[in-house]
Amino acid sequence: MRMAARLGTAVAAVVAFVLAGAGAAGAAPATSSGGEQCERPVSARTGNWFCPERGPAAVRGLAAVAVPEHCNESGCYRRYDDFRADFRSVRGAWGIGPRVLGHHEHEVAWQLTGSQMRAKPVFYENSVATVDVVFTGDLLNAAPGKPGTPVDGAFNIYTAGDVPAGVRRAWRPNGFKSYDDANFDHVQVIQFSWKLPGYDGYWYAYVKSPNATSPGKDVYRFRDVDQLPADPFGGGYRI
pLDDT tens digit sequence for 24-74? 433 333 344 567 899 999 999 999 999 998 655 445 555 556 799 999 999
User: Which residues, including other chains, have CB under 8 Å from residue 20's CB and lie 6 or more apart?
Assistant: 26, 27, 28
Q: What is the pLDDT of residues 104-131, one digit of tens each?
A: 999 999 999 999 999 999 999 999 999 9
Round to whole Å and give the CA distance between 201 and 170.
Answer: 23
Round to whole Å and give the CA distance between 25 and 230.
Answer: 9
Structural domain range at position 41: 2-238
Can you give the pTM of this predicted structure? 0.86
pLDDT for 186 equals 98
Look at residue 126 and give its three-state secondary structure. Answer: strand
Among candidates 217, 168, 158, which has minimal Cα distance to 190? 158
pLDDT for 36 equals 84
Hey, which residues does 135 pair with through a beta bridge?
158, 192
Would the pLDDT of 20 be above 60?
no
Would the pLDDT of 80 be above 80?
yes
Percent of the chain past pLDDT 70, that is, above it, reads 81
> H or E segment at 93?
strand 92-96
Confidence of residue 192 (pLDDT cuts 50, 70, 90): very high
What's the one-letter identity of residue 103? H
Q: First CA to last CA across the chain, in angstroms?
A: 18
pLDDT, greater one: 80 or 59: 80
Number of domains in the chain: 1
pLDDT for 21 equals 39
User: Which residues, including other chains, have CB under 8 Å from residue 45's CB and lie 6 or more apart?
Assistant: 37, 95, 97, 98
